[in-house]
Chains A and B, each alone.
Chain A
Amino acid sequence: DAGITQSPRHKVTETGTPVTLRCHQTENHRYMYWYRQDPGHGLRLIHYSYGVKDTDKGEVSDGYSVSRSKTEDFLLTLESATSSQTSVYFCAIRTATGTPLEQFFGPGTRLTVL
């Protein structure tokens, strides 16, 4: 158990509304990630953070923003949700040191945009 929780676990929203997903970790990990998972695709990286207020874009960042004001919380925001953002969203943390650098995932948030 990597001590990661995500909220909400399920959400249904309408096109054009803002949505914020929260990832919370209890073990003071520096690196945190947001992925989305869609049928036929592997998990794809949206954004990641390497410290408080330090974030960077991933492979599929368009339409998403993130914030990290505290070590334990990493927020993912869809400013204006679209149906193409219907997906399962996973947060992950990375072990700080060692090779290889393994990632551990939260339970996921299932988002439906109508």
Chain B
Amino acid sequence: RKEVEQDPGPFNVPEGATVAFNCTYSNSASQSFFWYRQDCRKEPKLLMSVYSSGNEDGRFTAQLNRASQYISLLIRDSKLSDSATYLCVVNPWNNNDMRFGAGTRLTVKP
């Protein structure tokens, strides 16, 4: 079983739709959680860190469920520019050992 698992998608949604991604992790002692976005043939870029209480940044909302060991990312009012691969990242010990999911691909269509 992979340490961090994501549905690879692709998710194809129309502009304006709401879309949600889940990510499960295996290490119950994990300390830090992140969502990155990666455009085709580009580097991953930090989208948001995920806090225990959940957090929101504009159209993006991240949630953490420690009991079930998953994190989620909700995108509201999808834009064409949201098309990318979204990477779930878990840092088990809040140190140098980040573990990455393989990513979920999102395509937003006109």
Contacts and interface: CB of A to CB of B under 8 A. Distances in A.
Chain A facing B: main interface SS: loop
Contacts of A108: 42-43
B49 A102 contact: yes
Given A33-B96, A42-B4, 18 more contacts: A40-B102, A41-B102, A42-B89, A42-B99, A44-B100, A50-B96, A56-B96, A58-B97, A100-B32, A101-B94, A101-B95, A102-B49, A103-B46, A103-B98, A105-B44, A106-B43, A107-B42, A108-B43
A104 interface: yes
B33 interface: yes
Contacts of A102: 34, 46, 49
Interface of B: 4, 31-34, 42-46, 49, 87, 89, 91, 94-103
9 nearest interchain CB pairs? A42-B100, A100-B32, A105-B43, A43-B100, A42-B102, A42-B101, A100-B49, A48-B96, A105-B44
